[in-house]
Structure formats: structure tokens, C-alpha cells
């Protein structure tokens, strides 16, 4: 008998893909690219904040389920992995419950702090800041 491989559940904090400031720029573009390229052997589920604007449809189409909070996301038991796609952008307490599981791998994706460390060197021209 051939059995299908067990899919590991990965919960992704998708709030950066709800944020109109970042959804089509820097961290939002980076997060969406990571989501698009995720392994086919993973069972991806997203977590969103119902108080933010709607999740972009492209992101919604890439996950098997959407959870409105960390309690719902953890209801089926601890996920294999929790990924915060933009840990510095939104309230970390929203997802804190998912950080408490001992066997859950926790990942924080940091896209870019250079602009905060060296603002005079990173996109110094106002037109480039708006364009990029």
C-alpha cells in the first residue's frame, strides 16, 4: 500500500499582506514571493487580523485556510512551523500563543532594516523612495 506523504502544517502571519502601506512594497512583495515559492509538501494556513483591510486575493489563493486569530490557528494542535512574515510591523501579542508550543519551529522574516540604520544612504532621493 502506498500512502501519501504527511503534510506539515505551517501557519503564516499574513498581516503584512493586509497592510495597504506594505502590501505592494518591500516586505509585502518579499512575503508574497516567499508564499508563492513555498514547498508543495507543506500545508499552508494563514492568520489575519479581522480589524485590518482584507487580505489580498493572491495570498488568499495560496493558503488552505485562513484563521482570524492565534487561538483558531492552534485549534488543531501545534503547527509544525509558525512564520511571522513581518515581525516588526504589527502587534506581536496577536500571534504570541503560537510561540508557546515547544515543538513548533518559529521563524521571523526580516526584510530590510538598512533604511532605518542608514537613511542617508538608502534611497536618499525622495522620488526613489516613492517609486521603490
Q: Are 95 and 16 in contact (CB under 8 A)?
A: no
- The pLDDT tens digits of the residues spanning 32-55 come to 998 998 877 789 999 999 999 999
Q: How many domains does the chain have?
A: 1
**35 or 26: whose pLDDT is higher?**
35
Distance in angstroms (rounded) separating the CA atoms of residues 108 and 88: 9
pTM above 0.75, yes or no: yes
Tell me the pLDDT band of 28, cut-offs 50, 70 and 90: confident
Within 10 angstroms of residue 106's Cβ, the number of other Cβ atoms is: 14
Domain contains 1: no
Domain contains 97: yes
Q: Are 66 and 52 in contact (CB under 8 A)?
A: no
Domain contains 2: no
| CA 54 to centroid of chain Cα atoms | 14
* Residue 97, Cβ density class (10 Å: 0-12 exposed, 13-18 middle, ≥19 buried): middle
- The pLDDT tens digits of the residues spanning 62-118 come to 999 999 998 888 888 889 999 999 888 888 889 999 988 889 999 998 876 666 566
Distance in angstroms (rounded) separating the CA atoms of residues 29 and 53: 17
Distance in angstroms (rounded) separating the CA atoms of residues 113 and 87: 12
> Regarding beta strands 42-47 and 105-108, do their DSSP bridges make them parallel or antiparallel, or are they unpaired?
unpaired
Q: What is the CATH number of the domain that holds 31?
A: 3.40.50
Q: Does the pLDDT at position 29 exceed 50?
A: yes
Q: Does the pLDDT at position 129 exceed 80?
A: no
Tell me the pLDDT band of 3, cut-offs 50, 70 and 90: very low
Residue 27's domain comprises 8-111+123-131
Amino acid at each position: 500500500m502506498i500512502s501519501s506523504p504527511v503534510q506539515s502544517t505551517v501557519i503564516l502571519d499574513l498581516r503584512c499582506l493586509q497592510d495597504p502601506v506594505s502590501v505592494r512594497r518591500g516586505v509585502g512583495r518579499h512575503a508574497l514571493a516567499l508564499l508563492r515559492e513555498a514547498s508543495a509538501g507543506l500545508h499552508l494556513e494563514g492568520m489575519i487580523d479581522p480589524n485590518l483591510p482584507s487580505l489580498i486575493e493572491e495570498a488568499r489563493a495560496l493558503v488552505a485556510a485562513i484563521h482570524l486569530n492565534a487561538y483558531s490557528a492552534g485549534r488543531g494542535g501545534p503547527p509544525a512551523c509558525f512564520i511571522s512574515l513581518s515581525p516588526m510591523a504589527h502587534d506581536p501579542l496577536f500571534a504570541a500563543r503560537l510561540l508557546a508550543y515547544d515543538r513548533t519551529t518559529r521563524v521571523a522574516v526580516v526584510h530590510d532594516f538598512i533604511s532605518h540604520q542608514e537613511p542617508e544612504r538608502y534611497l536618499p532621493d525622495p522620488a526613489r523612495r516613492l517609486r521603490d
